[in-house]
Amino acid sequence: MEDRPPTDAALVERARQGDERAFEELVRAHQGIAFRAAHLFTGSAADAEEAVQVGFVKAWGALGRFRPGAEFRPWLLRIVVNEAHNRRRSAQRRESLALRAAFADASGDAVPSPEAATLDREGRQALVDAVNRLDARDRDVLACRYFLELSERETAEVLGVRHGTVKSRTARALQRLRAEVSE
């Protein structure tokens, strides 16, 4: 019979009882997306790494408050994203710069020709610039939904807003973005 890896819920339950090895498994399973989120919100690899490490330690300390039956990933990401915001603030970087830095070297692969590459790069840069011109709340929701590929419910948990707010904010952000890029 094949052994299935334990689910997040099972690992969280063991970690809540003080099982550090179970928590280590949770760290290994989620540190990739946690780092990606932190990098997106800080624009700095060093700050992102610190935000992830501190975030996991805080998550461990807060496991007693974890609601049984809730999803671990958005709960963790909320802690990490808050840490990332704190780091960016203490570094006194503006929010738009953080996103720009994350996008600065965005590069596609399998580019068919230099001309197409230029067009693609210009198109991408226009989209990046348009995203960065959005206000912070709209950017955050787009970052969660499309750059971290979180569901609406996960996004709501990560950003600490209601589900309906994610829906309306996403629709509004897309509308503004559409107006910007079609100009």
Partner 1 sequence: MSELEQRLLALGRELDVPEPPDVAARVLADIGVARPPFRRRRLVLALAALVLAALLAVLAVPDARSALLRFLHIGGARIELVDDLPEVAGPAELELVLGKRVSLTEARSEAGFDLLELDEEPDGVFLGDRATVWFLYGAPDAVHLLVSQTPGVRIDEPFVLKKLAAAGTRVDAASVRGSPAYFLSGEPHVVMLLDELGEELPESLRLARDVLVWEERGRTVRLEGDLTLDEALELADSLH
Rounded Cα distance between 147 and 157, Å, is 16
Number of residues that bind partner 1 (CB under 8 A): 64
Q: How far is the CB of 109 from partner 1 (least distance, A)?
A: 8
Closest CB 2 distance from partner 1, rounded Å: 25
Taking CB under 8 A as the criterion, the residue among 22, 42, 47, 56 binding partner 1 is: 56
Stretch that binds partner 1, among 5-13, 30-38, 68-76, 110-118 (CB under 8 A): 30-38
CA distance 167 to 181: 21
According to the binding rule CB under 8 A, does residue 111 interact with partner 1?
Answer: no
DSSP 129-171: HHHHHS-HHHHHHHIIIIIS---HHHHHHHHT--HHHHHHHHH
Distances (CA, A) of 54 to 42, 72, 98, 134: 14, 17, 19, 29
Min dist CB 60 to partner 1, Å, is 5
Site string for partner 1, 78-107 (x = CB under 8 A): x---x--x---x----xx------xxxxxx
